[in-house]
A and B are shown apart, each in its own frame.
Chain A
Amino acid sequence: MKQRPFEQRHAADWRAFAATLDRLERRKPDRNAAASLPMAEFPAAYRRLCQQLSIARARRYSGPLLDRLNQLALRAHQQLYRAPRQHGRAALDFLLVDFPRRVRADARLFWLCAALLYLPLLGMGVAVHQSPELIYSLLSPESVIEIEENYAPGQEAVDRAAADDLAMFGYYIHNNIGIGFRTFAGGILLGVGAAFMLLFNGVFIGAISGYLTARGHIETFYTFVAGHGAFELTGIVLAGVAGLKLGWAVVAPGRRRRTDALRRAAAEGVRLMIGVAALLVLAAFIEAFWSSNRAVPAATKYAVGGAGWLSMIVYLGWAGRRAP
């Protein structure tokens, strides 16, 4: 069959098929568009189109016709092979079951990342506590003064207004979750970016803690960080886990091609990152609206902080061990 009779024979089918696609894509139909097919007939119509495209290619019909059929097939392919939409129930299942399971599956990387954060934190904390002037190797004198003023005792009188809390919430969201995301992304650079972010944060947090302890601002500082510490530090460690997975896939892809290993690791890592984002939002909320409240007695703050760590350990250690 020559090209022109082939086009004439199927022209009506193709117009109806295009109209069906317009409807599925919720595009505005043309004024002179054909009537669309019933949805039940869509898959069969798609298979017919695939066959017509194959025939047209085998008979070497001209480029414009092949382009047109290819475009129709591509649009139909995108409609047919669309991922099903996730629902609210799936999100809950993810947080209660899937996320802690994924963390346990990467337990070795978790402990490695925890060491990368907490060892420099402790080391720097002890060192700066012994000789507080070490802090000037990291921070400028002006920032040290600013940090010290923030935690100076006797500020109960100038309690922060609710508007300030909201501003700080915005700041923690933007800054801390941004750090978490960058830690993950940096992992693709052979893991170096993620490891660097962990070490860097460990060194800074350790230095500031050691300095403020040495200066005697113990209660103001530790009552502030107690509440959100469990969620924020664990969130950063898990962002490191997700990042190192990317790096490890590039360094040692095993029996896969590097891009395939990377793709697999990224698919696992991004699911960890959803949990990380949830943890960091929780941490930002506590940090902005609870940690900053100096009217709460110190004992309550420490108790809440301890409960946070305990719940974190129970959640990551045991949640989802039994099928829901």
Chain B
Amino acid sequence: MPNPALLDTVRHVETPEGITLKLRVAGPMARALAWGMDSLIRYGALWGLSMGLVLLGWAGLGVWLITLFLLEWFYPVVFEIYADGATPGKKALGLQVVLANGAPVDWPAALIRNLLRAVDFLPAFYGFGVVALLVSRDFQRLGDLAAGTLVIYRDPPAKPLALPPGPALPPPLPLSAAEQQELIAFAERGSVLNPERQEELAALLADCTSGLRGVAAVERLRAHARWLVGERT
């Protein structure tokens, strides 16, 4: 069996309180989409501004160029500092920029990662950035490596999974700790597995289901899981 730690994208950070926090780093696709949305917002705003500034003639051009400069270099910096590490595009995709220790990004780090964007963008469309992202362990582009930042998913994957309510029954035979966890995980994931697959899995545990089949076997396993997490009816 492959080591799951080599496959998943969770980074563990130890805090001064002696616990480890899990940060789920985001891959190139989500980040590219966030960048696309931010580009639309930025260039949409510049286009709208140019409509108004054209009335001002040359002075308008000056204001427009300064706005272009600020949006090109500082749009991500300002949002990362003042909007919980997320530009509007990142926010829409549930992403957040944090320091490698999980703390919020500070001014130097936000400046470094966004100034170095100029190199990540080379030779075209984030060529260097994507290569660095795929080579580094935590999906970091060059700017992230220099700044010591990560782009992580802000919230847990979906709504929390829960055991559906129902009767609780003790399992008919002693189960090891690992077996108990497997059983609870199976019952909690009921909402994301289709019924046929659940019945198929339940059929593998004939020892626990006392000869029951189909839906009844699944229900019996859930009852055992409720017992194992401590419910009593």
Contact = CB atoms under 8 A, between A and B. Distances in A.
Chain A CB count within 10 A is highest, among B19, B57, B73, B145, for B19
B24 to A, nearest CB: 10
A201 B65 CA distance: 22
A140 B17 CA distance: 65
B46 to A, nearest CB: 12
Contact of B104 (A78, A164, A181): A78
Contact of B115 (A1, A50, A181): A181
Interface residues of A, number: 64
Interface stretch (A57-65, A203-211, A213-221): A57-65
Contacts of A169: 62, 66
Nearest to B66: A170
Interface string A240-282: 0000001000000000000100110111011101100000000
Contact of A70 (B17, B22, B58): B22
Task: Point out which of B72, B107, B177 has the most chain A C-beta atoms below 10 A from its C-beta.
Answer: B107
B142 interface: yes
Given A62-B229, A163-B59, A174-B68, A263 B148 contact: yes
B130 interface: no
A274 B64 CA distance: 23
Contacts of B118: 181-182, 185-186
Given A53-B19, A169-B62, A270-B115, A68 B146 contact: no
Interface string A62-80: 1110011011011001100
A245 B72 CA distance: 24
A161 interface: yes
Contact of A267 (B57, B69, B108): B108
A170 B64 contact: yes
Interface string A186-201: 1011000100000000
Contacts of B188: 62-64
A167 B229 contact: no
B71 to A, nearest CB: 11
A172 to B, nearest CB: 9
Contact of B17 (A46, A184, A270): A46
A85 to B, nearest CB: 9
A82 B103 contact: yes
B230 A68 contact: no
Contact of A167 (B61, B73, B115, B145): B61
A126 interface: no
Interface string A28-45: 000000000000000000
Interface residues of B, number: 56
Nearest to B16: A81
Contacts of A6: 230
Contact of A262 (B102, B108, B146, B229): B146
Given A70-B22, A167-B59, A263-B146, A4 B119 contact: no
A25 interface: yes
B63 interface: yes
B131 interface: no
B36 to A, nearest CB: 21
Contacts of A130: none
B102 A170 contact: no
Contacts of A54: 18-19
A174 B63 CA distance: 10
Contacts of A2: 228-230
Interface stretch (B87-95, B155-163, B204-212): B155-163
Given A169-B62, A173-B69, A188-B146, A77 B112 contact: no
Contact of B69 (A1, A3, A177, A273): A177
Nearest to B147: A266
B145 A86 contact: no
Nearest to A84: B106
Contact of B102 (A1, A74, A162): A74
Given A4-B229, A77-B102, 6 more contacts: A3-B229, A54-B18, A68-B156, A86-B107, A166-B58, A166-B63
22 contacts: A1-B230, A6-B230, A50-B18, A53-B19, A60-B177, A63-B188, A64-B161, A68-B160, A73-B15, A81-B101, A163-B57, A167-B61, A167-B62, A167-B65, A171-B62, A174-B66, A178-B73, A185-B116, A186-B119, A262-B145, A266-B146, A270-B112
